[in-house]
Amino acid sequence: MTARNYPTFWNPGTIGDPDYVPDLNRAREEGRRAGLEMAERQIRRGAPRHLLIGIDYERDFGDKGRLPVAGTYEDIARFGERFIRGTLEEHYTDFIFTIDIHPPTVIHGDTWWADELGNPPDVSLPLFMVLVDDNPNRPVFEAHWVDGRAVKQYSPRLMRQHTVNYAKHLTATGQGSIWVFIAHCREGTSGVSLIPQLGELVEWASIARGIQPTFMYKGHIAHVDWFGPFRPCMDVPDHPQGGIQTTYLDMIKASKSTEIAGEAEDFCVNAGTLQVLDYYGSQPDVLQSISFLGDCTSAIVPNSDVVKNLHATMAAKGVNVITHDAAFV
């Protein structure tokens, strides 16, 4: 890594500045001057592919975002350093960045639910809904907040029978309960965008290496959740993206190595990583090619059983947990 081609615009100290505007022209110009070999030329010469997956590194999940994940800005600083190094060492050949994006009315939003007086739940902190009565005329759920306050009963205002079926599906498939969050990553808002300093790096690396980044959009089917990017929490057969996204999953097998990072570790990163492990469960050679960037992710609920179980599962499957300064393989 030399001073000649290191991106001079990269300044981790600006991450979190709400007024920061990415200078894409400068990023592109520095990418053009980086003097790096194009990734496709490497591949034509017989070099292997190396894939980087960044899950939901969006403004609304930043420490100051609408659904804040404490630690995201520091994660981005470390992820950015690895991204730069992997670009300058001509390691990465492919990038996937997932984008969580939602319409105004969604099953994980407050307006889907109402108490006996017609009021929505308080979503200043996350909560999950537990089905206690599946009466099709007025199903009843208990709301459990992460801070342990008293539970309260709510019913779905919309698609009542579907909501009951969806809750039962989540339980039967080991996905837990229906979570409800504050409004975040709304279509048409700035919260959907990549954190801008990362957006600059994507622009720079794409030009420097001739890589067209792949952006995966998820969360836009209103009546199901979509934590892991490779499949909604329940299939929606009448939607063109309502099933397993094999095109993207197959990119992992086509790569010699894959690295996964993102936000939040106990929700979308957890679900996405488990989707990968499930898809390749009978192919240990593929699983052993995957690394998890453990210091480039944070949890909404730190030290939860979800995070502990994720790490235990990765260890059992042969997935390596590494830090951002680990050597490339």
Same domain assignment for residues 97 and 141:
no
CB atoms within 10 A of CB 138: 10
Residue 67 and residue 75: Cα distance in Å, rounded? 16
Number of domains making up the chain: 2
Q: Does residue 62 sit within a domain?
A: yes
Same domain assignment for residues 243 and 284:
yes
State the pLDDT at residue 302.
82
Listed residues 180, 213, 231: the one ending a domain: 180
State the residue range of the domain holding 89.
46-103+185-322
State the pLDDT at residue 228.
96
Q: Does residue 7 sit within a domain?
A: no
Listed residues 162, 180, 198: the one ending a domain: 180
Same domain assignment for residues 202 and 73:
yes
Spans of the chain, pLDDT less than 50: 1-3
Q: State the DSSP string of 192-228.
A: GSBPHHHHHHHHHHHHHHT---EEEEE---TTS---S
Q: Does residue 35 sit within a domain?
A: no
- Dmax (CA) for the chain in angstroms is 68
State the pLDDT at residue 5.
86
Same domain assignment for residues 167 and 191:
no
State the pLDDT at residue 301.
84
Same domain assignment for residues 89 and 141:
no
Residue 119 and residue 135: Cα distance in Å, rounded? 20
Same domain assignment for residues 75 and 212:
yes
State the pLDDT at residue 219.
96
Answer whether 135's CB lies under 8 Å from 110's CB. no
State the pLDDT at residue 195.
98
Strand boundaries in the chain, DSSP class E: 50-55, 94-100, 113-114, 127-133, 140-145, 152-156, 178-180, 214-218, 257-262, 290-293, 320-322
Q: What CATH number did the domain enclosing 259 receive?
A: 3.40.50.850
Same domain assignment for residues 219 and 272:
yes
Query: φ, ψ for residue 253 (rounded to 5)?
Result: -65, -30
Same domain assignment for residues 136 and 242:
no
Residue 9 and residue 26: Cα distance in Å, rounded? 8
Q: Does residue 22 sit within a domain?
A: no
pLDDT tens-digit readout, 121-154: 999 999 999 999 999 899 999 999 999 999 999 9
State the pLDDT at residue 4.
60
Q: Does residue 18 sit within a domain?
A: no
Q: Does residue 137 sit within a domain?
A: yes
Same domain assignment for residues 303 and 162:
no
State the pLDDT at residue 1.
43
